[in-house]
Structure formats: structure tokens, C-alpha cells
Chain A
Amino acid sequence: MDLKGFGAQIATGAGLTLLVAALSLVIGLAIGGLGAAAKLSGSRPLRVIADAYTTLMRGVPELLILLLLYFGGTVLLTWVAGEYVEVNGLGAGLFALSLLCGAYTTEVLRAAIQSVPRGQLEAARALGLRQAHVVRLVMLPQVWRLALPGLGNTWLVLLKDTSLISVVGLEELMRKSAIAAGATHQPFTFYAVAAGVYLLFTTVSVLGISALERRARRGLARA
């Protein structure tokens, strides 16, 4: 296929797409861990805050959250700093995707933690394991196995949602393709190339996720 010399540009954009998605996943997982802990905690205010966070994030379009953070961030930072500060697409995009990913992983992790049978924790305690050991040896391996399908799903959603950041000007895969499409007057060709690259990313991800799932299940008796 003739990419009219835009191949390198699109490859750079694809790299940025992967980077943004990966960073958002890491930050989102940290937020999700805190969120799940808050939802399962005994403290009512913490639970209310975590519930409000997940409800808002899952009930409002991703694009709107991104736009609010992009334009709203500039207004807020300018007001705080007293001079004009502009939030760039990368900052707003990372922030928005991390918050979104955090909301999804909060639910995934909460459900996974709750699915570990209580009897196993009691058994571990009865065997005299310390709390740290109970978490590391009994809880975490099972939470990981139970949360993997949901986390994998979140990763796929995240990967596709990175395309939204092109709307606020970040030069990732989608934006680079749009630039090439405009310059060459061949929009179909370049958006099809972008679609192909996204499809490649999701295919590799799906294969990777199912390999991880198989590994996480290895100690489990087959039904």
C-alpha cells in the first residue's frame, strides 16, 4: 500500500497510542485499587464518594469528560496560577483515561475481592497465617484470576478510547491519520490504515489476555 511517506508519522502515532493507553492503565489500576478498598471499607463517607465517582464516570460520555478536563483544566489552572496556563492534549487525555479506567477497575476489583470465598480466609487464619500472608498467598492470586477478564476488557476499551484524545489535538494514531488524510485527500485509505493498526493492537491484546487467563487458572481443577 502506498502511504505517501506518512508511514513513519503513523508509526509514531501508534506508539503514542500504546504509551497513553499503558500509562492510563497503570494509573487507573492504582485508582481502582483505592476505589475498591473505599467501596468495601466500613466508612460510609468513603463508600459514598467511591459510589459517586463510579456512577458519574460510567454515566457520562468519555468524550465529555475529556473535553471538560481539557477546557476546564485550562480555566482552573489559569485561575489558580493567576496567568494563562494551557492544558495540553496529552495531560488532559491521560487524566481523563486514568479516571475512566479507575472507575471501571474499581468495580472489577471490588467484584473480584468479594468473590473470594470467605471460608478460605477463615481457613488461612485458622492455619495461623499472618494478615500479610493471607493477602499475598490466598487473596491476591485469586483476585488476579477473577479480575483478569474484567481487566482485559477494560484494557480493550481503553485502547479504543485513546482515539478520542485526537479530538483535543494529541498527535496519536488517529490524529496522525487525520493529518495524512487531509494532506493526501485520501481519507478512506488513511482511516482504514488506522483501523487496521487498532485491530492489530486489539488482536494481540486478546491473545495476550487469554494466555494470562490460562496461566492464572492453571491450579484450578477443570469442571
Chain B
Amino acid sequence: MDWQLMLDSLPRFLAGAWLSLKLIGISLVAGAVLSLPIAFARASRRRVLWMPAFAYTFCFRGTPLLVQLYLIYYGAGQFAWVHDSWLWPLLRQPFGCAVIAFAINTAAYQAEILRGGIMAVPVGEVEAARALGMSEWLILRKIVLPQALRLTLPAYGNEIILVVKSSSLASTITLLDITGVARSIVAESFAVYEAFLDAGAVYLILTFLITRAVGAAEGRLMRHLQREDLAKVPSLVPLGS
């Protein structure tokens, strides 16, 4: 073990962690926004709404993220019209491609989580709100979404961790995220263990902090609920079952 090298490469890992955090943060927020309409369409009883939403989640959860990333990064350039489109400035550079791929991927998973939460909101509460004369939008904002979020918080925590881990794929399209920094150190010095153990430690710290933060948020939002209520949340495994 070359401790000096591990110490010397710390600033590079900090820069890598910053890039990873940007990727993770932007993708999670963009994915959350994108997942809202998909989740409501998926929970709808109308065919024209739920079928496309189902196709979306099915395709993006049924194929590897690496394929989706390559399709966008390498694949988009195959078509001339893409070069002229307004998205090209984003698709031309790896960061934009990574964000797009991660966002549409996590949107599929988040939509499925949110749908589980929406379906778990007791019908009686929605009916009561309607009886009180609340508008659909107000019901959505004040009754359905807060409850759905509360019920699905543990699943959201899981999804954040999954996004943190899958952000390492950014290194396959030349980005210098945490994994990318480790790979370039290995390429320069072949200090395999130093580089990858350093990177692993950074990821462990990240996932640990997120787990703690989600746990704290859960404690706050669930104050008024008893443990039994948590058991009612449907299991939210990706794809099928």
C-alpha cells in the first residue's frame, strides 16, 4: 500500500466526488419531476394513459442502464437531424448524456415507487376531501402527494442509493467522477488497490450519509404514525413480482 499516493490523490477524489454529486443531484431532481406525470398516468384506469406509462417503465427498468447510456452518448449522433436539434449541445458532451440517461432511468423507477404510494392512499380520504368540496388539484397537493411521499420514503432512500451507485457508469463515457478518477490513477500508476479502495471509501461515506439523512427524514415525517402503518406499504421491487 502506497499511503503517500492515497493521500496525494485526495484532491482529485474530491473533484471527482463533486462531479458525481452534481450528476446524482441533477439526475435525481430531473427524474423526480419526470416521474410525476408517469406515476399518475400509470395509476390511472384509462388505457391511453396507463399503457404508454407502463411501456416507459417496462423498457427503462428492463434494460441495463449501460445500454441506455451508450444509446444516448454513442447512438444519438448516428442521425443527422439530432445534430441540428436544440438538444445537441447537451448530447454532444458526456456530462449532458450522463444526466439525460440517469434522469430518464431513475424516472422509471421513481414513477413505480410513487405509483405504489398513490395507490396506497386510502380511498376514503380522497372521497372525504371531495365531499368537503376540495378541487382535484388541491386534493392532489394536500392529500395524495404528502401521503404518498410519506409512505414511499424508505423506497425513495433505496432509489437514491441506487442512483449513487449507478453514477459510476459515467466513467465509461470518459467522465472523471469518483470511479473515473480511480480509473485514471490506475492507468497512470497501476496503483490498483490504492485507487479503487479510495474510491470505494468515498462511495461508502456517501451512501452512509444518505442512509442517515433518509432515516432522519423518515423519523420526522412518521412522528404521528405507528409502526404497523409502515407494514402496509406494498413491496416496491423493480420489475414484476
Q: Which residues of A contact B (CB under 8 A)?
A: 56, 58-64, 67-68, 71-72, 74-75, 148-150, 152-153, 156-157, 160-164, 166-167, 174, 178, 181, 185-189, 191-192, 194-195, 198-199, 202-203, 205-206, 209-210, 213
Contacts and interface: CB of A to CB of B under 8 A. Distances in A.
13 contacts: A59-B203, A59-B208, A61-B179, A64-B182, A64-B196, A68-B200, A75-B190, A75-B193, A149-B241, A161-B64, A164-B169, A194-B67, A209-B241
Contact of B239 (A161, A185, A202): A202
B172 A199 contact: no
Contacts of B222: none
B237 A153 contact: yes
Contacts of A162: 64
B199 interface: yes
Contacts of B235: 149
A134 to B, nearest CB: 27
Interface of B: 58-59, 62-68, 70-71, 74-79, 161, 164-169, 171-172, 179, 182-183, 186, 190, 192-193, 196-197, 199-200, 203-204, 207-208, 235, 237-241
Contact of B199 (A62, A64, A150, A187): A64
Most chain A Cβ neighbours within 10 Å, of B63, B75, B207: B63
A189 B200 contact: no
B71 A59 contact: no
B196 A195 contact: no
Contacts of B63: 160, 195, 198-199, 202
B203 A181 contact: no
A63 B171 contact: yes
B54 to A, nearest CB: 13
B62 A188 contact: no
B212 to A, nearest CB: 13
B171 to A, nearest CB: 7
B168 A64 contact: yes
A202 B108 CA distance: 15
Contacts of B199: 64
Given A174-B66, A213-B241, A188 B71 contact: yes
A135 B237 CA distance: 28
B165 A60 contact: yes
Q: Which 10 residue pairs are nearest across A and B when measured between Cβ atoms? A: A188-B75, A61-B168, A206-B240, A163-B64, A187-B74, A202-B62, A160-B64, A149-B241, A68-B196, A188-B78
A73 to B, nearest CB: 9
A150 to B, nearest CB: 7
Contacts of A152: 237, 240-241
Nearest to A199: B62
Contacts of B65: 160
A51 to B, nearest CB: 14
A150 B241 CA distance: 9
B237 A72 contact: no
Contacts of B183: 67
Nearest to B204: A59
Contact of A191 (B62, B74, B171): B74
Contacts of A174: 64, 66-67, 70
A171 B179 CA distance: 22
Given A71-B186, A192-B75, A153 B239 contact: yes
